[in-house]
Amino acid sequence: MATKTVINAAGRSVPLEINGQAVIPFKGVGKHRPEGTKFAPPVPSCSDYPEDGNKLITSLEEALKKCGLADGMTISTHHHLRDGDLVSNKIFEIASAMGIKDLVWFPSASFPCNDPLIKYLDDGTINRIEGSMNGPLGRYVSEGKMKGTAILRSHGGRVQAIQDGDVMIDIAVLAAPSSDTFGNAKGTGGSSACGVIGYAKADYLYASKVIVVTDNLVDFPCIPMEIEGIYVDYVVVVDKIGLPEKIVSGTTRITKSPDRLLIAELTASFLDRSGILKDGVTMQAGAGGTSLAIAVFVHEKLKDKGWKASFGFGGSTKYMVKMLEDGQMGYILDAQVFDLDSVRSLETNVTHVPYPVFNAYNYHSKGNLTSMMDIMILGATEVDLNFNGNVVTHSDGYLLHGIGGWQNCLHARNVILPIPLFRDRIPVIVDEVTTLCGPGELIDVIITERGIAINPLRKDLIDSVKGSGLPVKTIKELKDEAERICGKPQKPVFDDRIVAAVKWVDGTIIDVIRKLKTD
Amino acid sequence: MNKSVAVAGNSGPKVRSDCEMILEIRSAGGIEIDLTSRVRALYGESIKTLCLAILKFFNIENVHLKITDSGALPFVISARLEAAVKQLTETGKEYIPEMISQNSYSATRERFRFTRLYLPGNTPGFMINAGLYSADGIILDFEDSVAPEKKDESRYLVRNALRQVNFYGAERMVRINQGERGLDDLDFIIPHNVNLILIPKCETAETVKAVENRIEEIRKQYKIESEVFLMPVIETALGIENAFEIARSCGSVVGMAIGLEDFTADIGVPRTVEGNESFYARSRLVVAAKAAGIQPIDSVFSDIGDMDGLRATVLASKAMGFEGMGCIHPRQISVIRKGFAPGVAEIEKSKDIVWAFESARSNGLGVVALGSKMIDAPVVSRAQKTLELAERLGLLKSNWRNEDRGQ
């Protein structure tokens, strides 16, 4: 099947049709203007639901059957149970036993615990995954083994796709640490507490059918109602929805790697001397060891100067909670929770509140949270001479990561990527990224152990650190230094076949991933 | 040599930035390379090209080479292959990588040696970024951190690292082995711009002289102009008794260090945090070093998790007169540097002295006075050093002279 391709606004060759659906090539940042109205699910009637509000069904299989599970349907799940998720795989185990084919799995992210799904991709139960693919799943896709074409979206892009009707969810299967029989559900309580379950919001609002799966049935009403029962069709109680030790880390830890600490320290100095760090600053940092170390340095600097961050957007961790509780942060707005201290804080601190990505990240909204952030700390597998970033493939061409919120976060005021100049001989700064995930015009600063490169578009930042003694270099100088140390790498060789597409935050196709030629 | 298979380097799930070479010389069949590498897609060809060039250089034509690579840089790959080749063939040739231009600096006698980071001489992963942590010195170690069966191959690795790894201005130091092996170590490294040699378990002045003589021979042979300094490490009771003689044994000795793990073992007591068992030895070493006009350097602090303990030890060490300490982990560097750094009062006093000296000079006065006190030249020089150090440590702005002097 020959696919017609065009060159998009980022210079990448992309198709006009994927999985039988027409798609729009990337037009440039902020250039695509959506038309029409948002998607809406079918209109339900109370006459079809029990008057006593009890929607309990004996098993997940029964619930899936009642939802009319059939070939070709799109099944969505959220990833709040992270690597401890016991529900997603179960869905496809049931579907496979029923002889169902060609399902589309539409998770908000996948984890190593989902690797067993490869057998349902092999046996035809699943046609494709539209979501993040890590580890063995990514490898499987890169080697061209998945029947359909994978679609990678950011967290905000997933909400956009649901709201705009690009993806129509037939059945949302939503694991919930606590639920009542009506389907009101939340992320706290029980043995599988994960803090918040905000990623499920678009799913329960827009899916045709919604199943809540819990291992902790509570009396009505289950509050706070992160999932509202009026949108829920069925409630299933199982023994265990997740493995607690793999849902949240008991504790997140700052990195002990001296190389990463060095990068974190340099990042903190940059934030300080550039004047980005100030009273009332707004910030987001992830749960990676380097980000946590940066958060600790930032905390110290705020404390020294008697300043306070007005709010932080989580992924919350104990380091952010400490800032909140020490009075160096006004609020934590929380999309996901990474450790037990954060679960505790969410339950006890009134200034630590759930804030789903649904409200924060969708580009097709009337404004969103990311552009209000002063400091955005992100990672990347590659950055090129034009500051373009890649987060999904490695330089060897293998698809190994999801986008997460990365693309959405690029709209922050100061996007800073603290990354090593090379990892095990593989340079991170390259001539041209293997896969384009984020346009360079949105990436401001690259901080490596061997120097800082500031995007020439940010003259203000370049001026702000003149004479500061910080090791500011051009990105070309950093690339040359990496190549002097590591040697110039060969390029991976690809087939013509497209195995995955990367969507931009507005639903257009920014790049595709082609099948790797393996020897 | 009648061995036909050689093994060099390291592999395994935890190994990074290294490779293992299994080299088998054959009588016919040409060169066969079997490469397993985590960076094969990006560097497979360049690894093979490099290995072929090395084999050609050593005139090896029939061989099976199995490479297990975990992202080794070229200087590591060539060191490993050369080490394997030399196990199987007699040759005087050396496959020497280019000396990068950043590595040609020399050291001075009086430079600070507060922090010196020890790096095991056969672990390339630690070497690559070592210079970034701003230690005053980097010690590539041939002695205790290298297993006996790895001592030979570490020589090629350290030699190549000295030429290819940018240590960003840190003083380039090597700790050699004891005895004859230590003297032979010098042949591998002195031609490659080493700034300082540490002599372990040094007990007599003769040991230092033997090292200096060997270095002089090599310097003459290679027409090396830059100086190579020496730092004996005292680790036994006998060494302590001879400390002063050792300190003034040769002109190239710039510092003398104490190694307490071995010292306490030698006198037959456990090493304690309080260190009463070594108090005399440390004091004696400080006095001997100061009497000889060289820097006394304290032992390493071995608990890398205990930063508070380290901080306390550094302050105690500075109070005894030591002028530096070894570091066994990059995280220790900033704690040790801050500990030996001048305090606020010390900086203020130095500013006053330098200020008085400079205004006296600009007024054409030959005598410098601060208040009613006359100031000697060494005092000025020390104050200048203190301020230079304070500037280097970011404790003082380089334009401090422009600051408003309120008094």
Q: Mind listing the pLDDT tens digit for each residue in A405-436?
A: 999 999 999 999 999 999 999 999 999 999 99
Between A282-296, A357-371, A434-448, the lowest mean confidence (pLDDT) is in: A282-296
Interface ipTM? 0.87
Q: pLDDT for A296-323, tens place per residue?
A: 999 999 999 999 999 999 889 999 999 9
The CATH number of domain B5-88, selected from 3.90.1150.10, 3.30.2130.10, 3.30.230.10, 3.90.550.10: 3.30.230.10
Please give the pLDDT value at position A411. Answer: 97
Q: Is the pLDDT of residue B403 over 80?
A: no
Task: For residue A483, give the chain B residue with the closest CA.
Answer: B73
> Which of A259, A297, A424 is most worth mutating to test chain B (most B CB atoms within 10 A of its CB)?
A424
Q: Say how far apart CA A14 and CA A186 lie, in whole Å.
A: 40
Those residues of chain B whose CB sits closer than 8 Å to some CB in chain A are 16-17, 38-39, 41-46, 70-74, 100, 128-129, 132-133, 329-331
Band of residue B401 on the pLDDT scale cut at 50, 70, 90: confident
Please give the pLDDT value at position A364. Answer: 97
CB nearest to B41's CB, from A424, A485, A492: A492
Please give the pLDDT value at position B405. Answer: 59
Q: Is the pLDDT of residue B61 over 80?
A: yes
Domains of chain A: 50-130+167-246 (3.40.1080.10), 258-493 (3.40.1080.10)
Domain B103-340 of CATH type 3.20.20.60: yes
CB nearest to A424's CB, from B17, B45, B133: B17
> Which of B39, B51, B118 is most worth mutating to test chain A (most A CB atoms within 10 A of its CB)?
B39
Partners of residue B73 in chain A, C-beta under 8 Å: 425, 485-487
> Which of B36, B67, B129 is most worth mutating to test chain A (most A CB atoms within 10 A of its CB)?
B129
Interface contact flag, B73 A425, Cβ < 8 Å:
yes
What value does the mean pLDDT take over residues A217-243? 97
Secondary structure of chain B as H, E, C letters = CCCCEEEEECCCCCCCCCEEEEEEECCCCCEEEEEEECCHHHHHHHHHHHHHHHHHHCCCCCEEEEEEECCCCHHHHHHHHHHHHHHHCCCCCCCCCCCCHHHCCCCCCCCCCCEEEEEECCCHHHHCCHHHHCCCEEEEECCCCCCHHHHHHHHHHHHHHHHHCCCCCCEEEEECCCHHHHHHHHHHHHHHCCCEEEECCCCCHHHHHHHHHHHHHHHHHHCCCCCCEEEEEECCHHHHHCHHHHHCCCCCECEEEECHHHHHHHHCCCCCCCCHHHHHHHHHHHHHHHHHCCEEEECCCCCCCCHHHHHHHHHHHHHHCCCCEEECCHHHHHHHHHHHCCCHHHHHHHHHHHHHHHHHHHCCCCCCEECCEECCHHHHHHHHHHHHHHHHCCCCCCCHHHCCCCC
Interface contact flag, B41 A426, Cβ < 8 Å:
no
Task: For residue A255, give the chain B residue with the closest CA.
Answer: B331
Please give the pLDDT value at position B1. Answer: 54
Band of residue B393 on the pLDDT scale cut at 50, 70, 90: confident
Q: Is the pLDDT of residue B305 over 70?
A: yes
Please give the pLDDT value at position B407. Answer: 44
Q: Are A377 and A414 in contact (CB under 8 A)?
A: no
Band of residue B371 on the pLDDT scale cut at 50, 70, 90: confident
Please give the pLDDT value at position A381. Answer: 94
| Residue type present at position A228 | E
What value does the mean pLDDT take over residues B205-211? 98
- Rounded to two decimals, the pTM is 0.91
